[in-house]
Amino acid sequence: MDEILNDIDRWRSAGQRVAVARVVDIEGSGPRDPGAAMAVNEEGEVAGSVSGGCVEGAVVGEALELLGGRRDPGITTFGYSDDEAFAVGLTCGGTIHLFVEELNW
């Protein structure tokens, strides 16, 4: 969270709404530990990261859906799966669970 605070402050003081995605759990190997976070503003600007760059693009999509009212806050999972349920995966083969919410607290 530490490394994204300055961007969040800048966006909020400019009147932007902000979504935050945080790693809450990892299975197998994951590049970032629980607590790693990225923030996305309404214009799709990004701060921080939740993986080694594997899923950030998809997270921006989820964040914009949330800010646009097209999805609820909640858990989003990325990772390898036998049934290929996940369109976006981690090259390391792990699975990460993110909690996506608006920063309105």
Partner 1 sequence: MTSIYEEFRDAIRAEEPVALATIIEGPDAGAGSDVRPHPGAASDVRPHPGAASDVRPYPGAKLLVRPDAPTLGTLGDPDLDRVVERDALGMLDAGISEVRHYGQHGEARQMDLSVFVECHARRPHMVIFGAVDFTRALASQAKLLGYRVTVCDAREVFATKRRFPMADEVVVDWPNRLLDRIGADLGPRDAVCVLTHDHKFDVPAIVGALPTRVGYLGAMGSRTTHEKRTERLREAGVTDSELERVMAPIGLDIGGRTPEETAVSIVAEIIAAHTGRQAPRLRDGQGRIH
How far apart, in whole angstroms, are the C-alpha atoms of residue 78 and residue 93?
A: 10
State which residue, 24 or 93, has the beta carbon closest to partner 1.
Answer: 24
- What does the block give as tokens for 70? 């097209």
51 binds partner 1 (CB under 8 A): no
Residues 23-42 that bind partner 1 (CB under 8 A): 24-25, 33-35
How far apart, in whole angstroms, are the C-alpha atoms of residue 65 and residue 3?
A: 24
Among the listed residues 65, 58, 46, the one whose alpha carbon sits nearest the alpha carbon of residue 90: 58
**Least CB distance to partner 1 at residue 27 (A):** 12
**Contact mark string toward partner 1, 79..98, x via CB under 8 A:** ------------------x-
Among 42, 45, 65, 101, binds partner 1 (CB under 8 A): 101
Count of Cβ atoms closer than 10 Å to residue 64 Cβ: 17
